[in-house]
Amino acid sequence: MKWTPKAVEIAREAGARLREFFAQGVVTEYKGDVDLVTVADWTVEKLIRTRLGEVFPEHGMYGEEGTRERMEQEFRWYIDPLDGTTNFAHGFPVFCVSLGLEFRGELIAGVVYDPTRDELFAAAKGSGTFLNGERVQVSKVSNLAETLTGTGFPSHKRHKNPNIYFYHVITLRTHGVRRAGSAALDLANVACGRLDAFWEFNLNPWDTAAGVVLVEEAGGKVSCYDGSEWRLDSKETLASNGLVHQSMIDVMAQIFEGRDLPQLPSPVEYR
Ligand code: IPD
Ligand code: CA
Ligand code: CA
């Protein structure tokens, strides 16, 4: 697909800028009560907006840091210049650039670049998913008890987030839940088989657009928590290798109904 190589170039350039900012350290500001933002988020979104505008002057753009251009166009880019800002601001090296492309309401390409590991994930509809040029696939684990899963906790209304119950139960039913702090990288990690499943409430289109294409093109599945069709504006994202998808849906239904919630063991019992 002709758009992907350009997006790869732009993501690499953006990632190199993030790497420089990360090395020098940046001042952190607050967007809301707890939502962090840095000069790196703004500078890199501006860079991506300029570059995409140069190569695809007809395309629309929707970015986390305020870019809204030509949104009536059939082609639209969803831009997260820095996914993992909290990690970045704390010096924790897990973050990425995420660029997803939609055409007439369908996601058709995704690029996620992790500048600290120099890992570039790219996928185009119908052509598979690639990590640094090598084809990747989702994992083959089919038993939920043997999975490694991932999730995230948005900063928005964090004291009201129901996800801690999901985190609790799914931790006890699997090899574990990783909370790495970058939803786009979590999805990329499902695509290449490092994680078997991932879920999160209230993600935004710039977090998911690219990663969803990566997962689907690597043979995985994405839906809402009840298995219904996932859309860019869905408030629930469940991604998996496909084989454990139904088991995840079943566990989530139980948690929503409040069934089988384990009692908290006492620290004394745990010794
Ligand atoms: C956040 C990260 C995090 C997820 C949050 C996102 P940001 O994006 O993806 O993993 O838990 O929901 O908002 O703010 O760092 O771009
Ligand atoms: Ca994000
Ligand atoms: Ca961001």
What's the pLDDT score for residue 2?
80
What's the pLDDT score for residue 268?
78
**Interval between CA 156 and ligand 3 midpoint (Å):** 13
The C-alpha atoms of residue 46 and residue 157 are separated, in whole angstroms, by: 28
Kindly list the structural domains of the chain, giving each domain's residue range(s) and its CATH number in brackets, ordered by start.
3-135 (3.30.540.10), 144-257 (3.40.190.80)
| Single-letter code of the amino acid located at 181 | G
Closest atom of ligand 1 to 183 CA is 9
Cβ–Cβ under 8 Å, residues 67 and 45: yes
What's the pLDDT score for residue 171?
95
**Interval between CA 11 and ligand 1 midpoint (Å):** 18
Cβ–Cβ under 8 Å, residues 248 and 240: yes
The owner of tokens 């490092």 is 194
Q: Of 148, 142, 123, 141, which is closest to residue 216 (Cα–Cα)?
A: 123
CB under 8 A, 24+ apart: contacts of 53-58: 55/6, 55/10, 56/3, 56/6
**Interval between CA 206 and ligand 1 midpoint (Å):** 10
* Proximal ligand: closest to the CA of 65: 3
Query: Which ranges in 80-194 belong to alpha helices (H)?
Result: 85-90, 163-173, 183-191
The C-alpha atoms of residue 238 and residue 259 are separated, in whole angstroms, by: 20
pLDDT tens, residue order, the chain (271 aa): 688 899 999 999 999 999 999 998 876 766 666 566 688 899 999 999 999 999 999 999 999 999 898 989 999 999 999 999 999 999 999 999 999 999 999 999 999 999 999 999 999 999 999 999 999 999 999 999 999 999 999 776 667 788 988 999 999 999 999 999 999 999 999 999 999 999 999 999 999 999 999 999 999 999 999 999 999 999 999 999 999 999 999 999 999 988 767 777 777 777 7
Instruction: Pick from 182, 200, 204 the residue to mutate for probing ligand 1's pocket: most ligand atoms within 8 Å of its CB.
Output: 182
DSSP SS3 for 13? helix
Residue nearest atom 2 of ligand 1, based on CA coordinates:
182
Which H, E and C letters describe 53-86, residue by residue?
HHHCCCCEEEECCCCEECCCCCEEEEEEEEECHH
Find the angle CA(109)-CA(112)-CA(116) to the nearest 5 degrees. 165
Query: Which ranges in the chain belong to alpha helices (H)?
Result: 3-24, 39-55, 85-90, 163-173, 183-191, 205-217, 245-257, 267-270
What's the pLDDT score for residue 3?
81
Looking at the DSSP bridge assignments, the partners of residue 38 are 28
Cα dihedral sign, 211-213-214-215:
positive
CA atoms within 13 A on the CB side of 41: 25
Show the tokens assigned to 80.
């997260």
**Interval between CA 23 and ligand 3 midpoint (Å):** 18
Rounded alpha-carbon distances, angstroms, from residue 34 to 86, 97, 111, 196: 10, 21, 28, 30
